[in-house]
Amino acid sequence: MVTVIKPSRPATGRPEQISTRIVFFVAGFGTAAWAPLVPFAKARAAIDEGALGLLLLCLGLGSILTMPLAGALAARFGCRRVVVVSAVIFCLTLPLLATFPSSALLAIGLLVFGAGLGSIDVAMNIQAVIVERESGRSMMSGFHGLFSLGGIVGAACITALLGAEASPLGATMSVVAAIIVALAVAAPHLLPYGRKNVGPTFAFPRGVVLFIGTLCFMAFLAEGAMLDWSAVFLTSVRGMETAYAGLGYVTFSLTMTMGRLAGDGVVQRLGRTNVIVFGGLAAASGFALATLVPYWPMTLLGYALVGVGCANIVPVLYTSVGRQNAMPEYLAVPAITTLGYAGILAGPAAIGFVAHTASLSVAFTILALLELGVAVSGRFLRV
């Protein structure tokens, strides 16, 4: 009698690692390409800032609605298919966002664009969790660092093209062409699977996954605060000229990107628990410095500390999802990603409410306390 041994699923290697890095860069590149187009969309639709704010919520809403579905699709059809289809969706949508003339069409376009971005975010993180776990070494910070780097490059490329008097449509078509080429290189080595075994399609976060998701919410809340309120704080509280207020987010972005690109070595030397503890302490110190010292250079230094602190908290939390046994990653990754995006969306609105009822300084003080809570909670993360 001859026993037939079925071949096991091949382990991931360097080609899969490179493809994962490319996809993270592409996702950041495509996401940031929209930001320089916002003023053009506002002018075409002839809307005010309030209407624009509501319109921009459609992007986040589209992302959050599709994240649980993306995890289920990755489990059923594999990471490769979900990543490719998601990238195609936002590549098709970007040129439309550069030309749609009305707020109604822009709202629909942003919902679809957000759906593509949310789906690729989940699928690429599932891939990253599997690839990192099978490599046996820390890689998640580097993956997320390339997302941040892609964001910087994407925004810079679109801005440069627009500055060279390219039309919004022409600029976005150039970006789309670059994404398609990068995707063609990465696709052959993206994972054709997305889960280890058969299980449920949907599940609510529970146990350690809910704990990790809560920490993600607080970490992403700090990132959302920097995105939406760093410049406002510099102008309204520190008296900086409006033309230079963007330096706040630039400072935060640069230190966070550099921290992530160097983060895998930091995680290996310090350990995941210490990275969360020290990262939370650094972010809390940054918010406290920005709030308590009434000079704008110190505020920028505080923003830099927030970037350093936040840099590797989220990557470490994604690694922890791949090491826990309460839920499989195809369910856990969408859960914590959705909670994180909720922090980005709800956090800035909550800051605005606190700033209106008390002051922006009080809101930043609350953020410092929340990040201190992340540091304390990190001591209890044992996965």
Please give the average per-residue pLDDT across 47-76, as a whole number.
83
**SS3 at position 344:** helix
Q: Does residue 8 carry a pLDDT above 50?
A: no
Query: Does 223 or 25 have the greater pLDDT score?
Result: 25
The predicted structure's pLDDT at residue 26: 94
Token pair, residue 1, equals: 């009698």
| Burial group, residue 233, by CB count within 10 angstroms (0-12, 13-18, 19+) | buried
The predicted structure's pLDDT at residue 203: 62
Q: Mind listing the pLDDT tens digit for each residue in 234-261?
A: 888 888 887 677 788 888 988 999 999 9
Positions of CATH 1.20.1250.20 in the chain: 14-189, 207-378
Is 140 within 8 Å of 17 (Cβ atoms)?
A: no
- Containing 280, the helix (H) or strand (E) segment is helix 272-292
Place of tokens 């995941």: 272
Token pair, residue 74, equals: 């990755």
CATH number for the segment(s) 14-189: 1.20.1250.20
Confidence of residue 61 (pLDDT cuts 50, 70, 90): confident
Please give the average per-residue pLDDT across 38-51, as a whole number.
80
Among the ranges given (4-13, 117-126, 177-186, 235-244), the one the predictor scored with the smallest mean pLDDT: 4-13
Q: Does residue 9 carry a pLDDT above 60?
A: no
The predicted structure's pLDDT at residue 299: 93
The predicted structure's pLDDT at residue 7: 39
CATH fourth-level superfamily of 207-378: MFS general substrate transporter like domains (1.20.1250.20)
Helix 103-135 / helix 38-45 crossing angle, nearest 10 deg: 160
How far apart, in whole angstroms, are the C-alpha atoms of residue 170 and residue 174? 6
Percent of the chain with pLDDT over 90: 44
Q: Mind listing the pLDDT tens digit for each residue in 324-345?
A: 888 888 888 888 888 888 888 7
The predicted structure's pLDDT at residue 185: 95
Length of the chain: 383
Is 95 within 8 Å of 167 (Cβ atoms)?
A: no
- Would the CA dihedral through 309, 312, 315, 317 be positive or negative? negative
Going by the DSSP 8-state scheme, the letter that residue 380 receives in this structure is T
Short-list 343, 350, 349, CA closest to 366: 350
pTM assigned to the model? 0.84
The predicted structure's pLDDT at residue 111: 93
Q: Does residue 139 carry a pLDDT above 50?
A: yes
Show the CA angle centred on residue 187, arms to residues 185 and 192, nearest 5°. Answer: 155
Q: Mind listing the pLDDT tens digit for each residue in 86-136?
A: 999 989 999 999 999 888 999 999 999 999 999 999 999 999 999 998 888
Among the ranges given (51-55, 258-262, 265-269, 361-365), the one the predictor scored with the smallest mean pLDDT: 51-55
The predicted structure's pLDDT at residue 199: 55
Query: Does 3 or 51 have the greater pLDDT score?
Result: 51
| Burial group, residue 9, by CB count within 10 angstroms (0-12, 13-18, 19+) | exposed
How far apart, in whole angstroms, are the C-alpha atoms of residue 195 and residue 327? 11
Please give the average per-residue pLDDT across 155-171, as a whole number.
85
Average model confidence (pLDDT) across the chain: 86
Query: Does 10 or 119 have the greater pLDDT score?
Result: 119
Q: Mind listing the pLDDT tens digit for each residue in 284-304?
A: 999 999 999 988 999 999 999
